[in-house]
């Protein structure tokens, strides 16, 4: 019998103590039969980076939810309400300040534990707002790197950050578990801005240790359930499970987003078993997929509305009655039924239910009334002057068909609208020849009308910036909506702004809510979000039992 | 020979300069890279910052002169989308493109040339008609249609081959068949016509009359003389190798230069577009030079200086 001395006892004690740490890892290594899942997408990223501040796109939103997480999350499988993210709770200190309690034990992809310093750094000048010395223009177009090759982020990063956080003053570390967001002016939308894309928390060490900004932007270190393993522009993005994810071990070992530009190829790849998911399926292909009982198409409404924008500078459209006639001449429901097979709907104006108390429930888009449209045109003295309608070749799903249908509806009431096909957005915005009507879509990045009606159509919004439309009263109200903290007053202001922009002096008119459809293997339990985001966390993904 | 080369290279240089200038002006005037790369939802401030950062706010002529100046120093510029050297963006696609296009070219030649010879030798027979029917179908059916058709059969129905991608040799089979079929059809028709013309020549009749074996007449007398038009077509095919095959690459999600060019043009990523155009033009010029030299080898008459022709 061996003698147990103090040294042996200590050794066995240490070994015993390490068992809880070692065993799960051995178990993970031995029993990792998690699947590799392949998702075919039309585009992985437009800007060839995975930096949320540069890739401000719908396709980016789809992949970022697997890599990044914000302090406040949204219930994408539910009604998009805010819910805890890497912060467990939040509360208002005053009309300029929001306090958040950080979730403890959150690990970044590089193994570091998230701290309050990481939160401050995420919103700091080095990463987000710039230090004023950002990439000066080079000698010529082709001589410098646009900020990508040095450590300094390209200048558009700071521009995006300032637009998303126009009044952010500072972030204060109260203690290691608590941070406070201080705004310069009263702002009821701070929580929404914390929840929106661009406010995801990143690792300070990960950012600082990257060889260049571009290196960071192609392999960001964040807290999401999957970490970037390989990103090949225009080809694929391979994510690997982040096993230390605070929300539990991710259910997929390797998640591959593969770029397949052709719809038919995405569908055929799914049907042949090469892909598990195929995104961006047009409505007319849903039946093709669902003919095979092993597959289904999921998805539907997302927080994005298709609209038509009017250029008030066009001589025939200066009179608001002509634009009002245009809004009443469109049978939106017919478009929904025919082109979208009834899978979308005509929304209640440029707003979403997830605005909560700010949602104006009794608001409706202008009703389809051809007689009223004809009456308004007669009153306005419209003489059939041609109005150009610049259209891109299906940048939006069903864009050309929709344009053709709407043009015929306008023709039926006496409007002479002429479709002009254009290749790109510059040609759509081009002012050298008369503009008339164009397509657009609007989202609400957070749950307040400021995020859409003010940001897109207000004084700093695109429509006014390119000189399409403006309205003095609307602009005054925009400012009030941004700064007022009186909920009743804000709601009244919002309703009045809808009246102006959609009925009295239309700057745009709603067509329908947008949809996105994802085809998938039926045996995989997964639910599409009411947004572009795809959630592959354990709570929303389950493989069939063997 | 030197004069020949200098003349060819001067013409090639002028052609490349014209292509590069034309592409620069058209692309720069017809689209804003900032809007293309950052998207229509981007804020006006971000767009302005992007334009300033890349010097896009300077007059186009100034941008172009700067570009030419850099070219003379061997600098091809930066990709605005990738924020890294355009030459790197392009060169990493070259092997992927050649991995697809070289087997396709081999298939075109191995299938098209013998089929054309056979059709000519069996002129007006059932075999001739069958070969010509298939060759017409080969280049008449659009690559997109044939590609989808093959995917439906071999990937979806039979499950033998992957439907898209470029990871393994198995991914190569369907796109190579699509590209090879169309090219083989063209080569078969050219070869047949050339062979028929040569087979009717007096020297072939003489050889046959002298009792030369038929296989020798075909291989030694007919084929070399019929090769010139075929070599010309193969030269064009070789020249366009590097440009990839846009449609086929899209159908099979093959990440080659063809797709890179489409993406770069649609994003107005000027430096990348220009590098691809330069590469394509250089390949075309090189392959034309090779073809010109092959003419001389195949047909010694083309080596006789112009002054001697009709000089008597």
- Tell me the per-residue pLDDT of A247-273, one tens digit each, with 9 for 90 and over: 999 999 999 999 998 889 999 999 999
Residue B250, both tokens: 């899209």
For every residue of A305-319, DSSP letters joined together read EEEEEE-TTSGGGSS
Q: Would you state the pLDDT for residue B1?
A: 66
Phi/psi for A20 (5° steps) reads -60, -30
Kindly report the CATH number assigned to the domain that includes residue A395. Answer: 3.10.105.10
Judgement on whether residues A342 and A224 belong to the same structural domain of the protein = no
Q: Would you state the pLDDT for residue A546?
A: 66
**Is residue A348 pLDDT above 70, yes or no?**
yes
Give mean pLDDT, residues B7-36: 81
Rounded to the nearest 5 degrees, what angle is found at the Cα of A301, between the Cα atoms of A297 and A305?
135
Distance, CA of B102 to CA of A121 (rounded, Å): 51
CATH homologous superfamily for the domain B94-255:
MetI-like (1.10.3720.10)
What residues of chain B lie within 8 A of the CB of A466, using their CB? 44
Is the Cβ of A282 closer than 8 Å to some Cβ of chain B? no
Name beta bridge partners: A180: A99, A172
B43–A160 C-beta distance less than 8 A: yes
Under 8 Å between Cβ of B18 and B281: no
How much of chain A is helix, strand and coil, in % rounded to 5?
35, 20, 45
Judgement on whether residues A219 and A270 belong to the same structural domain of the protein = yes
What residues of chain B lie within 8 A of the CB of A140, using their CB? 55, 58, 62-63, 66-67, 69-70
Of B75, B163, B270, the CB nearest to A265: B163
Is residue A127, in this structure, part of any structural domain at all? yes
Going by their DSSP bridges, the two strands A97-102 and A168-175 should be labelled as: unpaired
Judgement on whether residues A94 and A49 belong to the same structural domain of the protein = yes
From the list A173, A191, A174, A396, the residue with the least C-alpha distance to A306 is A396
Answer with the residue of higher pLDDT: A519 or B41: A519
Under 8 Å between Cβ of B175 and B166: no
Residues of chain B with CATH 1.10.3720.10: 94-255
Closest-CA distance of chain A to residue B204, Å = 51
Is residue A252, in this structure, part of any structural domain at all? yes
- Least confident residue range of A323-337, A381-395, A493-507, B24-38: B24-38
Mutate to test the interface with A, among B67, B85, B163 (most CBs of A within 10 A): B163
Residues B11-24: pLDDT tens digits?
878 888 888 888 88
High-pLDDT (> 70) share of chain B, %: 95
Give mean pLDDT, residues B112-139: 91
Give mean pLDDT, residues A311-337: 96
pLDDT band at B302 (very low <50, low <70, confident <90, very high): low
- Least confident residue range of A382-396, A501-515, B107-121, B234-248: B234-248
- Domain tally, chain A: 2
Residues B165-216: pLDDT tens digits?
888 899 999 999 999 998 899 999 999 999 999 888 888 889 888 888 888 8
Nearest chain B residue to A261 by CA: give it: B250
Residues 158-197 of chain B whose Cβ lies under 8 A from any Cβ of chain A: 159, 162-165
Is the Cβ of B49 closer than 8 Å to some Cβ of chain A? yes
Is the Cβ of A431 closer than 8 Å to some Cβ of chain B? no
Judgement on whether residues A320 and A438 belong to the same structural domain of the protein = yes
Distance, CA of A213 to CA of B109 (rounded, Å): 48
Is the Cβ of A418 closer than 8 Å to some Cβ of chain B? no
Q: How many residues does chain B have?
A: 312
A465–B44 C-beta distance less than 8 A: yes
B32–A426 C-beta distance less than 8 A: yes
**Is residue A276 pLDDT above 80, yes or no?**
yes
Under 8 Å between Cβ of B298 and B228: yes
Q: Which residues make Cβ contacts (< 8 Å) with residue B214, sequence separation at least 6?
A: B208
**Is residue A352 pLDDT above 80, yes or no?**
yes
Q: Would you state the pLDDT for residue A6?
A: 47
Is the Cβ of A264 closer than 8 Å to some Cβ of chain B? yes
Is residue A4, in this structure, part of any structural domain at all? no
Is the Cβ of B45 closer than 8 Å to some Cβ of chain A? yes
- Least confident residue range of A387-396, A448-457, B80-89: B80-89
Distance, CA of A498 to CA of A502 (rounded, Å): 6
**Is residue B74 pLDDT above 60, yes or no?**
yes
Name beta bridge partners: A239: A228, A255
Mutate to test the interface with A, among B165, B244, B260, B272 (most CBs of A within 10 A): B165
Kindly report the CATH number assigned to the domain that includes residue A82. Answer: 3.40.190.10
pLDDT band at A142 (very low <50, low <70, confident <90, very high): very low
Judgement on whether residues A257 and A150 belong to the same structural domain of the protein = yes
Give mean pLDDT, residues A518-525: 96
B45–A214 C-beta distance less than 8 A: no
What residues of chain B lie within 8 A of the CB of A156, using their CB? 38, 42, 46-47, 49-50, 53
Judgement on whether residues A86 and A227 belong to the same structural domain of the protein = yes
Judgement on whether residues A311 and A237 belong to the same structural domain of the protein = no
Give the mean pLDDT of chain B. 84
Of A143, A148, A272, the CB nearest to B70: A143
Q: Each residue of A403-430: b (16+ CB within 10 Å) or e?
A: bebbbebbeebbbebeebebebbbbbbe
B32–A154 C-beta distance less than 8 A: no
Judgement on whether residues A227 and A338 belong to the same structural domain of the protein = no
Q: Which residues make Cβ contacts (< 8 Å) with residue A220, sequence separation at least 6?
A: A50, A51, A67, A68, A202, A206, A228
| pTM, 2 dp | 0.82
Q: Would you state the pLDDT for residue A132?
A: 54
Is the Cβ of B295 closer than 8 Å to some Cβ of chain A? no
Judgement on whether residues A490 and A536 belong to the same structural domain of the protein = no
What residues of chain A lie within 8 A of the CB of B37, using their CB? 46-47
A423–B30 C-beta distance less than 8 A: yes
Residue B149's H or E segment, with its range, is helix B143-150
**Is residue B77 pLDDT above 90, yes or no?**
no
Judgement on whether residues A411 and A505 belong to the same structural domain of the protein = yes
Is the Cβ of B44 closer than 8 Å to some Cβ of chain A? yes
Residues A155-197: pLDDT tens digits?
778 888 888 888 899 999 999 999 999 999 888 889 999 998 8
B50–A143 C-beta distance less than 8 A: no
Q: Is A280 left (phi over 0), alpha (psi -120 to 50) or beta?
A: left
Judgement on whether residues A233 and A367 belong to the same structural domain of the protein = no
Is the Cβ of A2 closer than 8 Å to some Cβ of chain B? no
Q: Find the radius of gyration of the CA atoms of chain A.
A: 26
Q: Would you state the pLDDT for residue A58?
A: 81
Give mean pLDDT, residues A77-84: 87
Is residue A1, in this structure, part of any structural domain at all? no
Judgement on whether residues A480 and A377 belong to the same structural domain of the protein = yes
Q: Would you state the pLDDT for residue A13?
A: 47
Give mean pLDDT, residues A44-73: 90
Range of the domain at A128: 36-276+522-542
Residues 7-36 of chain A whose Cβ lies under 8 A from any Cβ of chain B: none
Under 8 Å between Cβ of A449 and A494: yes
Rounded to the nearest 5 degrees, what angle is found at the Cα of B36, between the Cα atoms of A457 and A392?
70
């Amino acid at each position: 019998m061996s003698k147990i001395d103090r040294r042996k006892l200590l050794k066995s004690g240490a070994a015993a103590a390490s068992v809880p740490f070692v065993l799960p890892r051995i178990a993970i290594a031995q029993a990792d039969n998690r699947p590799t899942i392949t998702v075919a997408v039309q585009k992985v990223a437009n800007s060839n980076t995975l930096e949320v501040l540069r890739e401000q796109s719908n396709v980016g939103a789809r992949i970022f939810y697997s890599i990044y997480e914000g302090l406040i999350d949204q219930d994408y499988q539910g009604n998009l309400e805010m819910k805890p993210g890497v912060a467990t709770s939040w509360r208002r200190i005053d009309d300029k300040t929001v306090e958040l309690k950080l979730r403890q034990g959150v690990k970044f992809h590089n193994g570091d534990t998230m701290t309050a310093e990481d939160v401050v750094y995420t919103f700091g000048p080095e990463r987000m707002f710039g230090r004023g010395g950002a990439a000066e223009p080079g000698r010529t177009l082709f001589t410098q790197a646009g900020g990508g090759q040095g450590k300094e982020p390209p200048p558009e990063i700071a521009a995006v950050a300032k637009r998303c956080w126009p009044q952010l003053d500072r972030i204060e570390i109260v203690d290691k578990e608590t941070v406070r967001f201080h705004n310069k002016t009263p702002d009821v939308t701070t929580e929404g801005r914390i929840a929106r894309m661009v406010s995801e928390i990143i690792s300070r060490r990960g950012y600082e240790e990257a060889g260049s900004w571009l290196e960071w932007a192609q392999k960001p270190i964040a807290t999401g359930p999957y970490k970037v393993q390989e990103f090949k522009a225009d080809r694929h993005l391979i994510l690997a499970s982040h096993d230390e994810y605070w929300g539990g071990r991710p259910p997929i070992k390797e998640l591959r987003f593969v770029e397949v530009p052709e719809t038919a190829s995405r569908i055929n790849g799914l049907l042949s078993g090469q892909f598990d998911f195929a995104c961006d399926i047009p409505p007319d292909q849903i039946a093709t997929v669902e003919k095979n009982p092993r597959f289904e198409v999921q998805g539907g409404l997302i927080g994005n509305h298709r609209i038509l924008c009017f250029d008030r500078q066009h001589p025939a459209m200066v009179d608001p009655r002509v634009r009002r006639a245009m809004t009443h001449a469109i049978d939106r429901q017919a478009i929904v039924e025919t082109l979208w097979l009834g899978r979308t709907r005509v929304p209640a104006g440029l707003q979403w239910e997830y605005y909560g108390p700010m949602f104006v429930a009794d608001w409706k888009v202008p009703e389809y009334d051809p007689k009223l449209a004809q009456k308004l045109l007669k009153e306005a003295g419209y003489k059939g002057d041609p109005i150009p309608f610049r259209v891109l070749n299906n940048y939006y799903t069903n864009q050309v068909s929709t344009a053709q249908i709407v043009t015929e509806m306008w023709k039926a009431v006496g409007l002479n609208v002429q479709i002009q096909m254009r290749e790109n957005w510059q040609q759509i915005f081009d002012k050298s020849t008369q503009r008339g009507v164009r397509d657009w879509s609007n989202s609400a990045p957070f749950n307040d009308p400021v995020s859409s009606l003010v940001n897109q159509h207000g004084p700093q919004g695109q429509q006014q910036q390119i000189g399409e439309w403006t309205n003095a009263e609307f602009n005054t109200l925009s400012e009030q909506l941004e700064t007022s903290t009186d909920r009743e007053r804000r709601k009244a202001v919002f309703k009045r702004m809808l009246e102006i922009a959609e009925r009295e002096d239309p700057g745009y008119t709603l067509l329908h809510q947008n949809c996105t459809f994802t085809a998938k293997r039926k045996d995989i339990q997964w639910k599409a979000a009411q947004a572009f985001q795809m959630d592959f966390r354990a709570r929303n993904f389950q493989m069939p039992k063997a | 020979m030197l004069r020949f080369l200098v003349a060819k290279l001067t013409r090639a240089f002028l052609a490349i300069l014209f292509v590069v200038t034309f592409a620069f002006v058209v692309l720069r005037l017809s689209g804003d890279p900032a809007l293309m790369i950052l998207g229509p939802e981007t804020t006006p401030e971000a767009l302005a910052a992007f334009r300033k950062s890349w010097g896009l706010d300077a007059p186009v002529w100034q941008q172009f002169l700067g570009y030419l100046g850099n070219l003379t120093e061997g600098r091809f510029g930066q990709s605005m989308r990738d924020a890294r050297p355009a030459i790197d963006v392009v060169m990493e696609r070259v092997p992927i493109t050649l991995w697809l296009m070289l087997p396709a070219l081999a298939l075109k030649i191995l299938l098209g040339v013998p089929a054309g010879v056979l059709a000519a030798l069996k002129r007006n027979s059932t075999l001739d008609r069958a070969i010509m029917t298939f060759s017409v179908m080969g280049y008449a059916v659009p690559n997109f249609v044939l590609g989808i058709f093959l995917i439906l059969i071999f990937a979806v129905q039979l499950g033998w081959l992957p439907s898209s991608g470029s990871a393994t040799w198995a991914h190569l089979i369907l796109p190579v068949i699509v590209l090879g079929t169309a090219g083989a059809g063209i080569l078969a028709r050219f070869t047949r016509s050339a062979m028929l013309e040569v087979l009717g020549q007096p020297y072939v009749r003489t050889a046959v009359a002298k009792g030369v074996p038929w296989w020798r007449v075909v291989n030694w007398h007919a084929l070399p003389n019929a090769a010139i038009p075929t070599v010309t077509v193969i030269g064009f095919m070789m020249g366009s190798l590097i440009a990839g095959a846009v449609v086929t690459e899209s159908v099979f999600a093959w990440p080659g230069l063809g797709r890179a060019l489409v993406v770069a043009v649609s994003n107005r990523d000027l430096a990348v577009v220009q590098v691809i155009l330069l590469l394509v033009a250089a390949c075309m010029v090189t392959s034309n030079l090779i073809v010109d030299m092959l003419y001389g080898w195949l047909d010694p008459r083309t080596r006789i200086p112009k002054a001697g022709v009709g000089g008597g």
